[in-house]
Amino acid sequence: MNVIAAIKEHYAVRNYQTKDVEEDKLKRVLGAARWAPSAYNRQEWRFVIVRDSSTRQKLTKAAHGQEFVGQAPVVIAACATDTSRTMPCGQVAYPIELAIAVDHMTLKAVEEGLGTCWIGDSEEDKVKKILGILDQIRVVILLLLEYSVQAAGPTFPKKRKKLNEIVVYDKWR
């Protein structure tokens, strides 16, 4: 599968099969994050892999009752280990770098025949307590990894703006 095909096939999955994700597929998905770029190759991230059913149910509560969080066979807590660095442009580095790593995982998951869903709507303090994550670590996103119930693609077509609606050249016009 080429990259643009994976990008076009990816969508947020919220309805899963009751099928475990094989360890080799999980490792390949996690391996994709390892290859994500980061400033000076610091890789200031850690991923907590949650397969335990009771722990996933607790994460459902921390994610404001979104039932599909607990139904996914794998929940990955994507964590930043250093939140102090600001890029020369003024942007905080950790959410950007971690998002790149997670996006690498989502695209590799598509290639592996898996579905994913980013969960940004969770209570970080509760997630940290459930997973035993230290106070100084930030939980940036929960990534669900699973097999989708539907054969392929979202239940509704993806609508995208035309390129000329989102791109300008040389100056903002």
pLDDT digits (tens, 9 = 90+) for 85-138: 999 999 999 999 999 999 999 999 999 999 999 999 999 999 999 999 999 999
| Burial tier of 116 (Cβ tally within 10 Å: 0-12, 13-18, 19+) | buried
- 154 pLDDT tier (thresholds 50, 70, 90): low
As a CATH number, domain 3-147 is 3.40.109.10
Strands 115-119 and 74-80: unpaired
Q: DSSP E strands: which ranges in the chain? A: 45-50, 74-80, 115-119, 138-146
- pTM as predicted: 0.89
> Rounded distance, CA 42 to CA 147, Å?
32
Write out pLDDT tens, residues 42-67: 999 999 999 999 999 999 999 999 88
Degrees (nearest 5) of the Cα angle 68, 55, 149?
A: 25
Does the structure show a pLDDT above 60 at 155?
A: no
CA atoms within 13 A on the CB side of 13: 28
Does the structure show a pLDDT above 90 at 150?
A: no
Write out pLDDT tens, residues 19-45: 899 999 999 999 999 999 998 899 999
